[in-house]
Amino acid sequence: MFESAPSSVPCLQMSSDITYKIGSSGLAEDPFFMVSVHYVKRPGAVLDGGSVVAHLDLDDPSRSTRAELENILAGYSLPEPYFRPKLQESIERLMKCLRDPALPLLELQDLVAMISGRIPPQVEKAIKKEMHSYASNITSVLSQFPSQQIANVIDSHAATLTRRTERENFFMTTQGIVQLVQSGTKG
């Protein structure tokens, strides 16, 4: 349960630090902790898996105890008649997923969804056109992910930007796509 502590700063303003009271039912004997939230990312920032959005700091760390879990699964594995077939099956499934020609398309769809509305509509439309073209021919043996075409779309738009800050902002926004298409051109 999160309860906002009284503050002169509105809770919707992410650039400020906010203190929360964390507890259970609110009874006198129930513990609660005051936690300060320090935001690291600005509103509208592109988030990747594992991105740190904020840091939580206990206002009084002396009132808490640290839970320690040591060696919970130390030495655990399936017994030998089951281990090798299960390992082989897992590796085969992983390799099948990594070889799937739809993988880069799915990654690109995810990246475009994250930056949609923050890149010019004509750039987004051109990238989606390349995605659609690849998706419609994905089962063809000759089909290749359109890394170079997507890189050309991004580069050609960047070339039209006259101010350095606009160009840097555009490349910062499309950085994930650029990394994906670069990995696609290298195999």
Q: How far apart are CA 177 and CA 155, in angstroms?
A: 12
Q: Is the pLDDT of residue 152 over 90?
A: yes
In the three-class reduction of DSSP (H, G, I as helix; E, B as strand; rest coil), residue 94 is classed as helix
Region 145-160 average pLDDT:
93
- pLDDT confidence band for 91 (50 / 70 / 90): very high
- Higher local confidence (pLDDT), 66 or 24: 66
The residue length of the chain stands at 187
- pLDDT confidence band for 18 (50 / 70 / 90): low
Q: How far apart are CA 88 and CA 184, in angstroms?
A: 27
Asked which of 30-39, 47-56, 178-187 is least confident by mean pLDDT, the reply is 30-39
Place of tokens 């902790």: 33
Residue ranges per structural domain of the chain: 12-60, 101-185
Q: How far apart are CA 63 and CA 33, in angstroms?
A: 8
Beta-strand pair 18-23/32-39: antiparallel
pTM beyond 0.85: the answer is no
Q: How far apart are CA 131 and CA 181, in angstroms?
A: 12
Asked which of 2-6, 18-22, 66-70 is least confident by mean pLDDT, the reply is 2-6
φ/ψ (deg, to 5) at 9: -100, 130
Contact (Cβ atoms closer than 8 angstroms) between residue 2 and residue 19 = no
How do residues 50-79 score in pLDDT, each as one tens digit?
Answer: 788 888 777 777 766 666 656 666 667 777
Three state DSSP letters for the chain: CEEECCCCCCCCCCCCCEEEEEECCCCCCCCEEEEEEEECCCCCCCCCCCCCCEEEEECCHHHCCCCCCCCCCCCCCCCHHHHHHHHHHHHHHHHHHHHCCCHHHHHHHHHHHHHCCCCCHHHHHHHHHHHHHHHHCCCCCCCCCCHHHHHHHHHHHHHHCCCHHHHHHHHHHCHHHHHHHHHHHCC
For residue 6, the model assigns a pLDDT of 39
